[in-house]
A = this chain, B = another copy of it.
Amino acid sequence: GHYLICGFGRVGRNVAEELDATHRPYVVIDVDEERLAAARERQPDLLYLTGDASDDDLLLAADINDAAGVFAVTDDDSRNMMIALTAKQINRATRVVARCLEVRNVPKLRKAGADMVISPDFTGGQRIAAAMLRPGVLSFMDDLVRSETAHRLEEIPVPEGFAPQSVGSLDLPGHDVVLLGIRDHRHFHFNPSPEVMIAGGQVLVVMCAPEARKTVERKILG
């Protein structure tokens, strides 16, 4: 499945770069034809449609029925709300992530159908404050998201059919892998002791080198 990026300002372009980095295909929708033409000059194979992404016809033209996900990232919260609503009406299965400018609009965007709502200016303010007050923690977290780093945060889903096993008996390579916690629907079990049982449907949150992830997966998949 491909992705739809609705809104191609600074935020939308940064989303596109993240998708490019992991070779995921996408179609861009924006009302501003000039902006799109300029973007295609920099990136000749860019797929785009000009118009309002909250319009069914445009979403259908971008093949939303076959899309893995929709990014509602224009610089207007009401527009993003309309895009989320329309996208979910056409294809309930598609994942919608919405950008939110004013934090007070987060609940409305969720209600409109967005699976996740991100507020760059809100998180940005938090990060700017953290850069002043807790600088080391911030750079550590940046290392965690960056994909080319030596150690990164990974989540490893435990398949439904997994025969329950204790953390200790999994025998994770302690030098390369730190098991930070086990996520279970909405609960997060931080720093589980060796006796804690792991069951199918849970997610292991680990910090590890990219190669070590494969080792953990082999242990989980048997």
Contact = CB atoms under 8 A, between A and B. Distances in A.
Give the oligomeric copy count: 2
Interface string A175-193: 1101011010000101101
Interface of A: 3, 10-15, 17-19, 22, 24, 69, 71, 73, 95, 97, 99, 101-103, 116, 118-138, 140-141, 143-145, 150-151, 153-155, 174-176, 178, 180-181, 183, 188, 190-191, 193, 203, 205, 207
A110 B157 CA distance: 40
Contact of A143 (B120, B127, B131, B188): B188
Given A11-B125, A120-B124, A141 B144 contact: yes
* Pairs A-B, 9 closest by C-beta atoms: A14-B125, A120-B124, A18-B129, A136-B155, A116-B131, A151-B190, A10-B121, A97-B131, A15-B125
Nearest to A191: B178
A85 to B, nearest CB: 18
A220 B175 CA distance: 23
Contacts of A155: 134, 136-137, 140
A181 B209 CA distance: 13
15 contacts: A14-B126, A15-B129, A116-B132, A118-B127, A118-B128, A120-B121, A120-B128, A124-B124, A134-B155, A137-B154, A140-B205, A141-B144, A141-B145, A175-B191, A190-B207
Given A120-B123, A124-B99, A136-B155, A19 B129 contact: yes
